[in-house]
Amino acid sequence: MSKKNFGDYSRNFITAVPADPSSEQAIFFKQTIPKFPEEAIYVYSFKENRMIFASGWEEVVGYQDDEINMLAIVNMSAPEYAPFSHDLNDKALQFIHAKTKDLEKYSFTIELKKIHKNGSLVPIIARVGVFSSENGRIESIIGRFQINRSLIFGKIMRYAAYGPEKEKFEEELNKILFSHLAISNKEKEALSLVAKGYSFKEIAHEFKVSHSAIEKRIIPLYKRFDVKSLTHLVSFAYDNYILP
């Protein structure tokens, strides 16, 4: 896939129009949406095709709240994280667009580095989810970007999916993200038990799933990370900070 194709699906739904901090809507969100220190928040409306709320962006990446926009956020990922981030955004939005119920319960997280306005790299845990829906369709999304200086980055991208159909959501993400050096939270949880000496059968019992479900979480990692054995996989995980 050529670089120009990354994020094509998501880009069909976003613009570079920033939020107006003085609008009644933005003022209301400022008063009602909780924000933590070193956290930036946005609410983007697909209905209005614009950012409708932004807060905390100067503290996190150096941009004023009234100049930050959705395209800028998408494009400020560090180069080594951008392709994966764009693909994750695309696949997550496609999956949620196919749903009509409980949309506000769907979200995903990703650990990555964003480029600060001054050119430095900022370690971020980003969470993006559905903020509001109308008649079974997404109306707006909310993103939270929290600085986390304790993050240690290796070669592996880390992400997680949440929602009523979490297993299916993550499975769909894995299909397109398989070509990336990435690991989901579900895969990491299973791998952490492998590292502790648990058998697949024991892990299946721990997670209350079938033995084959655990195999589907672990075995594909051999090919993805180009390892030859379970021992090699665990060693690779430690070397790349997947496991603490």
Q: What is the pLDDT of residues 96-124, one digit of tens each?
A: 999 999 999 999 999 999 999 999 999 99
Residue-wise over 146-175: b if at least 16 C-beta within 10 A, else e? Answer: bbeeeeebeebbbbbbebebeeebbebbbe
d(CA 69, CA 77): 14
Check whether 4 has a pLDDT greater than 50: no
Residues 51-99 have pLDDT tens digits of 999 999 999 999 999 999 999 998 999 999 998 898 899 999 999 999 9
Q: What is the pTM of this model?
A: 0.84
> Strand pairing of 182-184 and 121-134?
unpaired
Answer for the pair 88, 110: CB distance below 8 angstroms, yes or no.
yes
CA distances from 73 to 60, 156, 183, 238 (A): 12, 22, 23, 31
Domains and CATH numbers, the chain: 3-176 (3.30.450.20), 185-239 (1.10.10.10)
Residues 115-165 have pLDDT tens digits of 999 999 999 999 999 999 999 999 999 999 999 999 888 888 899 999 999
pLDDT at site 2 = 35
